[in-house]
Structure 1
Amino acid sequence: MHPRPSTLPSMADVAQLAGVSLATVDRVLNRRKGVRARTVDRVLKAAVELGYLDREECRKLSGPRLPNIAFLLPKGTNPYLRLLGEKVRATAATGSRDDSPVRCFFIESFDAGALASALHHHARWADGIAFMAIDHPLVREAVEEVGAGGTRLVTIVSDLPHSAREAYIGLDNQAAGRTAAYLLARFCHVREGSVAVVAGSRSYRAHSEREMGFHSLLDEAHPGLRVVGMREGHDDRNENYLHTLSLLDQNPDLVGIYNVGGSSDGIGRALRERQKAGKVVFIGHGMTRDTRRLLIDGIMDAVINSDPDQIIALTLARFRRPPHSRTHGDGHSVPLSMEIIFRENIPAQIR
């Protein structure tokens, strides 16, 4: 037996007794991946012998390790994605030692190279990564490489099908686009006129699928409503504001706008300034403080929402399941319920 030191033991003492590096001790005590089982046993045995851990703490650390989970979200002014990130971080802050460690990182929006690099970087420590996918060869290659290395991948909000990702958790975005077209056409009360689509970027499959669904319903049921083109506002309120002003100037017969992305407040600002509130039907996505205000003020007519708490809960539940386990018929997809919110059914509180 080694004599107990007169002072409190440190991680360095544990490393010395176990014959491993300080970094290895840190990985064992913080339950990070990449440490062999026999090394874990040696470190925990040394920690107990030195009194750095008691036997109950050792028992917890020697049990099955919960997965380390990373969420990668685009940074920017999109209020819905900021809300989702805040909720992920709140989940991480309130987690106990018995919960999966969760961390959230914001990366450059609409940048495939930045997302690919982030996937490789965080795969070094994370067992599972949830991310809003960009449909780009760099991202597909990173997903294949990271997945082959054993990191589990789940796409959220926007999918990357036919890749190494394990599942997609989000709306059926074509159905969301068709729903938006149905609502807009019913609210317009006219058979003919121009309608516009504003998106963040087609690089997000969610946005292109919503646009596709929107077009398909109008083509089928409302051919007199002419789509005048799609503008990419990169989920930036100022870009959306300028696009809306341009659309109003160029299309005097504009009767509706569908924002497939975020930052609807920029569109609302333009409609308010041009006194088009209530005259141009406005449908968008994501129940946040800005869309709530737009609904109350009568500038926005409907918001198509997916509950961010549900996204987080379903993602964490997926990672807690054994790798690659699937229920029959899940199709690698976990569709979210689609909420349609109007001024008269706004939730009592948006946090």
Structure 2
Amino acid sequence: MEINLISDTVTKPSNEMLQHMFRAKVGDDVYKQDPTVNELEESVAGLFGKEAGLFFPSGSMANQTAIKLHTQPGDELICDKWAHVYNYEGGGMAFNSGVQAKLIDGNRGMITAAQVAESINPPDFYHSPLTTLVCIENTTNKGGGACYDLQTLKDIKDVCTTNNLKYHLDGARIWNALVAKRQHPKQFGELFDTVSVCLSKGLGAPVGSLLLGSKADMAKALRIRKVFGGGMRQAGYLAAAGLYALQHNVGRLEEDHRRAKQLGQLLAQLPWVKSVEPVETNILIFSLKDGYSEAGLIEKLKQKSIFISSLGKGKLRIVTHLDYKEVMHQYVIEAFSKLA
């Protein structure tokens, strides 16, 4: 029994999801003639109260499309120093859009309205890049699955409105935040100009993300997606997995959160653990005490068929997901408890 807790991207489609995919009605989505893709786009856009959606092969492409949509070469966007759009998308904002980032030293990947306001370049000072976009990540990946308070996001929205800035949400794990904070998707849809959501993490679909926004913005995004090579043909088979995931796998995210919190409580009691960051959703980040090796711990766990990842600088990460069953959870708890 191999237990992979490296990421929630490692899940495989269930038999029920596969059957749903096999039965999908498909067409050519490049011509917008795939009925299942169209259904998914309309369904998720409606959930968030947005006018339209666009299906993408990856969350990174959806985010990069949003950045290109909202900026011009030479512009600057504002984000947290740990933001996915800055750290884990291959320098795409520079390569694809010719923009740079003003990085904010936030708290666990989360920034405040005051920090955003302080980071905006004066629009009439042509020596500095023009600030045009604020990117938010919720939940925060590198911040350990932390969830923004809704009022903080509203306060940042006010700053964006006052300064004529666009507002994008990288909602790769927004489903986890919605469940953990008992929030509604429309609360986010009404705040952000564009929202990206992922289907292949906590929801367990094999691939796929969506970008949501106005009809006008999604018409422009369709052209950008084409330029990026993201047009797919009979993508309805993949969209069907997303529809199944939305219908069956959102509520059960609570199980992932519960197990992550239980592991966090256990690790906090172990003598070789220095600290455990707050656990709100399905990501657990912890640090070892001085003298203990990250590589050594990873190897010991590997010998027990448990796989976790290192974030560097003394931090390790565990991510729970729908393929991490209760019997596995009990085995992991026992294995950690016995580690010397």
TM over 0.5: no
TM-score (norm 2): 0.34
TM-score (norm 1): 0.33
Instruction: State the structure with more CA Rg.
Output: 1
Higher relative contact order (CA 8 A, sep 6+): 2
